[in-house]
Amino acid sequence: MEKSSLQIARASYQPKLPKALLGPVAVQEGAPTQSVGDQAEIKALFPNTYGMPVVEFVPGTRQTGAAVNVGVILSGGQAPGGHNVISGLFDGIKALNPQNKLYGFLMGPGGLVDHKYVEITPELIDEYRNTGGFDIIGSGRTKLEEVDQFESGLQILRQLGIGALVIIGGDDSNTNACVLAEYYAAKKYGIQVIGCPKTIDGDLKNAQIETSFGFDTATKTYSELIGNIERDCNSARKYWHFIKLMGRSASHIALECALQTQPNICLVSEEVEALGQSLDEIVSYIADVVAARAAKGMNFGTVLIPEGLIEFIPSIKKLIAQLNDVLALPETKEMGRSETIDFAKSHLSAENLAVFNSLPVGVARQLALDRDPHGNVQVSLIETEKLLSTMVAQKLEKMKKEGLYSGKFSTLHHFFGYEGRCAAPSNFDADYCYSLGYNASRLIACGKTGYMSVIRNTTAPAAEWIAGGVPITMMMNLERRSGKVKPVIRKALVELDGAPFKYFAAHRERWAAETCFVYPGAIQYWGPSEVCDQPTKTLKLEQQK
């Protein structure tokens, strides 16, 4: 494999670990835990893995744990740092016992079910240390939820002598990890299952998880690009840039990028929902900012749009909820695309049908068709940035006729998502991910299953990070998915009374009226700590005591 100079230099970076993980660990267990919601139901569904205590590792005197082979799976969308989770896990299990082997299942959970795997050798892992991407073993979105899949997985785990499986994934994949842990525990198969919090979306966080890995690098990468666009925008002064940012549901990515780059407008889906805004109201808000800037001779600006926006507009949210139920009906399974759309339309309420018919054909089709295996609308395929800019242009035309606007409105469109998902991990993500993986090996060594690997106190230097584990059931509640009520990890949306949003809300009027762009530049790996080692603004604001 040919390598760039950065890859070569970066390969020798030794990620930092929390002090507690530098040598043998002792385990401190907290009180029994409860799920965040629907306690009785979750307890009944997870009788073997419910109520376990939160654990924290502290420096110990004796290394615990017998020899064990471990399997690892990368699940869902790529996020910077996945390779470091695997290298941390590899180093962790080798430190426990050099005979321990690590096997990677290929292309996501499907690799476990279909028995496709590779042994992760020292030579292989050394090729991937501190690199972006998930290409060491690939990733996939196969949902692990059927007994047949669990049993098929068991066969290969047994064949390879694997006693513990680490699933690196987002909320859906960790939900599945928990279901698998419960199943193997109930059957007394002696296979532990540990999760690791991954997703650039930043929505797998809660009182125990401060941030999901990859969010730091992805948002820094997008912010670099947005800053570059802002500087171009401020130089040419002739374009409005509509920039859609990944983040399937929550707007954490858009908000973090706004905090870093101070654009003229940033929409926050959670606020749109809370205010009950219609598409027309959102368009009017943007048009008013454009008109106000034009009145001061500024026919340029930047607008950040979270990918999931469309799902949060209350009327569209209701429509999607009903579409999800209709699309889950067995008769749709064999239907072609047009037939499915006709079938869906014929089952919609009058109100939802009116909303469906009011949407541009392409958007409506997207809402009525493709779902990912977890039942999510594939919002990354919907061109919200173009939808909004077209509607704003129409509104400005109308305002022009009414004498409320005079100016030029030329637009350019961008969608940033894939540009950041496999970026070389920042120092934060390199250290955080390595620690998560290493920590997972310690959870395995002390016999835990149904736990998520958790590293806290992440705004402090790495040595002071707190390592431990949280029972996955603790993060669960019941939600309606694909027409059924299911136990799932509660997704963390942007909190409108949280410090990051409040900071944004306090500044956005000025950012809209003036030009306050900030240009963060590229991620730096070597240099002054205030440039290289800063966590996200979201994390800093949230953790500010």
> 470 pairs with which residues across the strands?
452
Contact 49, 473 (CB under 8 A): yes
Q: How far is the C-alpha of 35 from the C-alpha of 50, rounded, in Å?
A: 8
The single residue listed with the structure tokens 């958007």 is 363
Nearest Cα neighbor of 444 from 3, 81, 145, 95 is: 95
- Please give the span between the terminal C-alpha atoms of the chain, in angstroms, as a whole number: 46
For ligand FBP, the closer of residues 291 and 379 by Cβ is 379
Q: How far is the C-alpha of 358 from the C-alpha of 373, rounded, in Å?
A: 28
Active site residue 370: no
Q: How far is the C-alpha of 165 from the C-alpha of 180, rounded, in Å?
A: 10
* Least spacing, CB of residue 421 vs ligand FBP, in Å: 6
Contact 19, 57 (CB under 8 A): no
User: What CA–CA distances, in Å, run from 56 to 16, 19, 212, 438, 466?
Assistant: 18, 12, 18, 14, 7
For ligand FBP, the closer of residues 51 and 110 by Cβ is 110
For ligand FBP, the closer of residues 109 and 163 by Cβ is 109
Residues 6+ apart with CB under 8 A from 66: 97
* Least spacing, CB of residue 179 vs ligand FBP, in Å: 17
Nearest Cα neighbor of 184 from 161, 169, 170, 163 is: 163
Q: Which of 91, 201, 203, 429 is catalytic?
A: 201
Q: How far is the C-alpha of 217 from the C-alpha of 68, rounded, in Å?
A: 32
Write the DSSP assignment of 340-406 as a string of letters. HHHHHHHHS-HHHHHHHHHS-HHHHHHHHS-B-TTS-B-GGGS-HHHHHHHHHHHHHHHHHHTTS--
Q: What are residue 263's phi and psi, to 5 degrees?
A: -75, 175
* Least spacing, CB of residue 308 vs ligand FBP, in Å: 8
For ligand FBP, the closer of residues 18 and 108 by Cβ is 108
* Least spacing, CB of residue 455 vs ligand FBP, in Å: 18
User: What CA–CA distances, in Å, run from 187 to 155, 162, 184, 190?
Assistant: 14, 16, 5, 8
* Least spacing, CB of residue 417 vs ligand FBP, in Å: 6
* Least spacing, CB of residue 292 vs ligand FBP, in Å: 32
* Least spacing, CB of residue 291 vs ligand FBP, in Å: 32
Nearest Cα neighbor of 46 from 143, 145, 180, 208 is: 180
For ligand FBP, the closer of residues 421 and 537 by Cβ is 421
For ligand FBP, the closer of residues 79 and 433 by Cβ is 79
Write the DSSP assignment of 29-85 as a string of letters. E------SS-HHHHHHH-TTTTTPPPEEEEE-SS------EEEEEEBSS--TTHHHH
For ligand FBP, the closer of residues 76 and 104 by Cβ is 76
* Least spacing, CB of residue 491 vs ligand FBP, in Å: 10
For ligand FBP, the closer of residues 17 and 253 by Cβ is 253
Binding region for ligand FBP (CB under 6 A): 76-77, 79, 170, 199-201, 246-248, 307, 378-380, 417, 421
Nearest Cα neighbor of 273 from 304, 245, 251 is: 251
Q: What would the two tokens of residue 446 be?
A: 């002390």
**Catalytically active residues, by annotation:** 201
